[in-house]
Amino acid sequence: MESIIFLILFPLFAGVIMLALPNGRGRDSFVNFAGVVTCIGSLYLLYEYFGKGAQFFFVDGTFIDPLITVAEIAIGLFIIGMSLKFRKYLIAVLAACQMALITYTDVVFEPSHYAGYDLFIDEFSLIMTVIIGVIGSLICIYATGYMKTYQEHHKDVKDKRPLFFFLMFLFLSAMFGIVFSNNIMWLFLFWEITTLCSFLLIAYAGDEISWKNGFWALLLNVIGGVAFAGGIFFINAFSSGSDIYLNELLTSSPGIALVAATFIGFAGLTKSAQFPFSSWLVGAMVAPTPVSALLHSSTMVKAGVYVIVRFAPVFEANLIGIAFAFIGAITFLTASAIAISQSNAKKVLAYSTIANLGLVVACAGIGTEEAVWAAILLIIFHAVAKSLLFLSVGSVENQKHSKDIEDMGGLIAAMPKVALMMLIGMAGMFLAPFGMLISKWASIHAFVNAIPPFGMLLIAIIAYGSGITVFFWTKWMGRILEVRTEREPLETEASKPEMRAILTLGALTVLACLIFPLISYTMIEPYTHTIYNSVSPLLSLSNEIIMLFMVVVVILLPVSLFHFAKGRTLRRQYMGARVSEVSGEHLRFLGSMGVMKEAELSNYYFEGIFGEEKLNRAGVLSTILIIVMLFALVSWFVPLEVIM
């Protein structure tokens, strides 16, 4: 248990120290040190609790419970203060509602009196710990190099780097808290801390648009916070009391568990940026790249899907789960489709994150064992591949001063290392035999057994989304590979800390694809087997061997380059039989008016079909409709059971 508490507290204290350290090499080494310690700490936890199943810990709450109440009120007051200062009255009202709900619950029901296990750890928490600890701290290490360049390029942005690193580490600390909390009151506090951190980090640049997007993220997350608080109020008001502990709640009567799962799942939807709340994550890209990487890969959105997947067993085979599944599936389809029409690299990544989380939510909504298995695999693969992609795009942006995919033409020649890592990341996002595809395969397997006819509709949505995903990733890969003229690569593609983080994440992406059967056998399957009381292996050995074989083929294929490099005649591109010339990066041809013209290539974006505004509207409207139905379902069917 000590190591759990260490993991929650160490990043917090390290962050506080960073707040006091001035810019410079000293702070950077301290950030590196804290990152390495967090990383090793999470790996040690893996070693300590590996194969031990679920473990629960009793913590003496006499000091901690009042502390948590105080912290919650402090966060509430801070949010209200900030929103009043910037005249965002709606947020202030919502935050006040949330605070009132929680304080009322604390005072009237005194949940701190119940005895139960406040902390716990199981295989799912362990997986999340490793994701947060390893990827999160790599991103922090990357940030030491990136933020230096960032501040040099953005002279107008006030240098608040101590605060920046404090918030980053506070974020990690809160994430650890979320995955270890068995007491929902604790979980809620950490939940609120992530909301607050993300708000401040998004608004880091301090200009008008940053504040605007920051407050937008805050607003949507506070809506989720109110729902969460409502859920907590409900549990305290209507159940026997010990249900504020997650393990008790999951096995309590379906009425209590379902209503609580709906409220908290709704909060999860806001945090994991599902439609109709997706806009905050897209807006969050105004923040420096490490923040986006952190929000998208190992923290924030992962906290959202974490709670939804936790409640997945409750969703199994009922209409409320189906409603969640449809919100996820519609999000997957809509966000993927919007990604086609975007040329801003970070926006494409943002929409693809939203889409992948949609798939996770869809799996959790189905709630069968196979679906949960697929959801956890998706979380793992998405975390490594997406953080790799964000960090690579950030380094390209620092070199090329552009986030536009159109400006990445022939990147493989100019920045071969970073470009190769981007290709690995993208392959990891959609191609067989890499990670995400295994999960997509598993989710189709899971959906075919869902309640008919909803399962079939979900499959149809996934089938269309799958085609769309192939389109937007491949055209981006093509853009990177499209070398019109040979050129010398840049001498330094990125600063040392950046390169270190990118290469490690690249290696981790490949490693995850190689050892995923191992992860499945030793961690995911034990977890799902405990939850569902089953013993059947989910992934047949023959399919596993096929996938591993394909990974090995992909890894070995580049060897063929040695063969193909020999005995070739190099020719220039066919330019319609016109005279053509190559100078530097330019490929020119003789135009019809006798002038040499530059040959310019660009990708298709299909804004007519996949326009952002149009699709966003459709996605938001349809999911709002589903949410209304969701709450109608809850309010009509469930109270009967509550009263009984």
Partner 1 sequence: MSFLDVMNVYPLIGVLLFIVLSPLVGGIIFGIDRIITARMQGRVGPPVLQPLYDIFKLFEKEKMVIHESQNFWIFGYLIFMIITGALFFGGSDILLVIFALTLAHVALILGAFSSGSPYAHIGAERELIQLMAVEPMIIIAAVGFYEVTGSFNTLDIISSGSPLILVLPGIFIGFVYILTVKLRKSPFDISTSHHAHQELVRGLNTEFAGSTLGMVELAHLYETAILLGFIFLFFGLAAPIIGLIVVALIYLIEIFVDNATSRVKWGLMFKSCWIVTAVLGVVNLMALYLI
Nearest to partner 1 of 9, 609 (CB atom): 609
Nearest to partner 1 of 7, 420 (CB atom): 420
Q: How far is the CB of 438 from partner 1 (least distance, A)?
A: 9
Binding mask 555-574 for partner 1 (x = CB under 8 A): --xx-xx--xx-xxxxxxxx
Q: How far is the CB of 121 from partner 1 (least distance, A)?
A: 34
Q: How far is the CB of 114 from partner 1 (least distance, A)?
A: 46
477 binds partner 1 (CB under 8 A): yes
Q: Which span (48-56, 100-108, 199-207, 551-559) binds partner 1, by CB under 8 A?
A: 551-559
Residue with tokens 């190769």: 420
Residue with tokens 């992609």: 389
Query: 31 and 97 in contact (C-beta within 8 Å)?
Result: no
Query: 389 and 436 in contact (C-beta within 8 Å)?
Result: no
Phi, psi of 390 (to 5 degrees): -65, -45
Nearest to partner 1 of 467, 584 (CB atom): 467
Quote the tokens at residue 179.
């995955």
Q: How far is the CB of 463 from partner 1 (least distance, A)?
A: 4
Residue selected from 603, 618, 622, 631 as contacting partner 1 according to rule CB under 8 A:
603
583 binds partner 1 (CB under 8 A): no
547 binds partner 1 (CB under 8 A): yes
Residue selected from 546, 552, 621, 624 as contacting partner 1 according to rule CB under 8 A:
546
Nearest to partner 1 of 174, 436 (CB atom): 436
Query: Rounded distance, CA 498 to CA 77, Å?
Result: 37
Query: Rounded distance, CA 166 to CA 20, Å?
Result: 9
Q: How far is the CB of 572 from partner 1 (least distance, A)?
A: 7
Write the single-letter amino acid at 444: I
Residue in 507, 433, 133 with CA at minimum distance from that of residue 298 = 133
Nearest to partner 1 of 134, 462 (CB atom): 462
Query: Rounded distance, CA 284 to CA 200, Å?
Result: 11
Which helix (H) or strand (E) segment is 121 a member of? strand 119-121
Q: Which span (224-232, 381-389, 481-489, 502-510) binds partner 1, by CB under 8 A?
A: 481-489
Instruction: List binders of partner 1 among 393-412 (CB under 8 A).
Output: 410
Residue selected from 271, 417, 484, 529 as contacting partner 1 according to rule CB under 8 A:
484
Contacts of 336 (CB under 8 A, 6+ apart): 351, 352, 355, 465, 468, 469, 472
Residue selected from 5, 46, 483, 629 as contacting partner 1 according to rule CB under 8 A:
483
Residue selected from 475, 500, 588, 614 as contacting partner 1 according to rule CB under 8 A:
475
Q: How far is the CB of 474 from partner 1 (least distance, A)?
A: 5
50 binds partner 1 (CB under 8 A): no
Q: How far is the CB of 581 from partner 1 (least distance, A)?
A: 14
Nearest to partner 1 of 471, 521 (CB atom): 471
Q: Counting Cβ atoms within 10 Å, is residue 629 exposed (0-12), middle (13-18) or buried (19+)?
A: middle
Nearest to partner 1 of 103, 603 (CB atom): 603
Binding mask 434-473 for partner 1 (x = CB under 8 A): ---x--xx--xx--x---xx--xx-xx-xxx-xxx-xx--
Nearest to partner 1 of 449, 534 (CB atom): 449
Residue selected from 24, 604, 624, 641 as contacting partner 1 according to rule CB under 8 A:
604
Residue in 170, 213, 212, 214 with CA at minimum distance from that of residue 193 = 170
Nearest to partner 1 of 515, 546 (CB atom): 546
Binding mask 496-535 for partner 1 (x = CB under 8 A): ----------------------------------------
Q: How far is the CB of 275 from partner 1 (least distance, A)?
A: 20
Nearest to partner 1 of 162, 517 (CB atom): 517
Q: How far is the CB of 573 from partner 1 (least distance, A)?
A: 4
Number of residues that bind partner 1 (CB under 8 A): 62
Q: For residue 111, say if its preceding peptide bond is cis, omega within 30 degrees of 0.
A: no
Q: How far is the CB of 334 from partner 1 (least distance, A)?
A: 15
Q: Are strands 596-598 and 586-590 parallel, antiparallel or unpaired?
A: antiparallel
Nearest to partner 1 of 432, 596 (CB atom): 432
> Crossing angle of helices 369-400/345-366, nearest 10°?
170
Q: How far is the CB of 339 from partner 1 (least distance, A)?
A: 12
> Which residues, listed in sequence order, are joined to residue 588 by a DSSP beta bridge?
581, 598
Q: Which span (67-75, 293-301, 431-439, 516-524) binds partner 1, by CB under 8 A?
A: 431-439
431 binds partner 1 (CB under 8 A): yes
Inter-CA distances, 636 with 318, 469, 641, Å: 14, 38, 10
Residue in 165, 177, 354, 150 with CA at minimum distance from that of residue 271 = 354
Nearest to partner 1 of 240, 543 (CB atom): 543
Q: For residue 453, say if its preceding peptide bond is cis, omega within 30 degrees of 0.
A: yes
579 binds partner 1 (CB under 8 A): no
Q: Which span (33-41, 86-94, 129-137, 426-434) binds partner 1, by CB under 8 A?
A: 426-434
Query: 10 and 38 in contact (C-beta within 8 Å)?
Result: yes
Q: Counting Cβ atoms within 10 Å, is residue 332 exposed (0-12), middle (13-18) or buried (19+)?
A: buried
The SS3 assignment for 56 reads: strand
At CB < 8 A and 24+ separation, what contacts does 151-159 make?
153/398, 153/401, 154/205, 156/207, 157/204, 157/205, 157/206, 157/207, 158/206, 159/23
Residue selected from 41, 283, 304, 433 as contacting partner 1 according to rule CB under 8 A:
433
Query: 271 and 302 in contact (C-beta within 8 Å)?
Result: no
Query: Rounded distance, CA 162 to CA 226, Å?
Result: 31
CB atoms within 10 A of CB 579: 9
Q: How far is the CB of 277 from partner 1 (least distance, A)?
A: 27
Contacts of 525 (CB under 8 A, 6+ apart): 373, 537, 538
Query: 86 and 147 in contact (C-beta within 8 Å)?
Result: no
Query: Rounded distance, CA 307 to CA 314, Å?
Result: 12
Q: How far is the CB of 369 from partner 1 (least distance, A)?
A: 17
Q: What DSSP character marks residue 521?
A: I
By CB under 8 A, name the binding residues for partner 1: 410, 431-433, 437, 440-441, 444-445, 448, 452-453, 456-457, 459-460, 462-464, 466-468, 470-471, 474-475, 477-479, 481-486, 542-543, 546-547, 550, 553, 557-558, 560-561, 564-565, 567-576, 587, 599, 601, 603-604
